[in-house]
Structure 1
Amino acid sequence: MVRVAGVRFKNAGKVYYFDPDQFEVKLNDNVIVETARGLEFGTVTMEITEIKEDDVVQPLKKIVRIAGEEDEKRHEENEKKKSKALNLCQEKIEKHGLEMKLIDVEYTFDNNKIIFYFTADGRVDFRELVKDLASVFKMRIELRQIGVRDEAKMLGGIGSCGKSLCCSTWLSDFEPVSIKMAKVQNLSLNPTKISGICGRLMCCLKYENDVYMELRKGLPDYGEKVKTKDGMGKVVDTNILESKVKVRLYTNEKDDDGEQKLGTDIYTYKKDEIKRLGQHKKHNNSNTNTNNILEEVDEEYIDELKELIKE
Structure 2
Amino acid sequence: MTTTIGFIGLGIMGGPMARHLAGAGHDVAGHNRSPEKTAPLVEAGGRAAASVTEAVDGAEVVALMLPDSPDVEAVLTGDGGVFDTAKPGTLVVDFSTIRPDVAADLAARASERGLRMIDAPVSGGQAGAENAALSIMVGGAAEDVEAARPLLDVVGKTVVHVGPAGAGQTVKAANQLIVAGTIALVAEAITFLQAHGADLPAAVEVLGGGLAGSAVLDQKASKMLDREFAPGFRIDLHHKDMGIVTEAAREAGVVTPVAALVAQLVAATRAAGDGGLDHSALFRTIARLNGEDVS
**Whose strand proportion is higher, 1 or 2?**
1
TM-score by length of 2: 0.27
Relative contact order (C-alpha < 8 Å, sep 6+): which is higher?
2
Judging by fraction of residues, say which structure has more helix: 2
TM-score (norm 1): 0.26
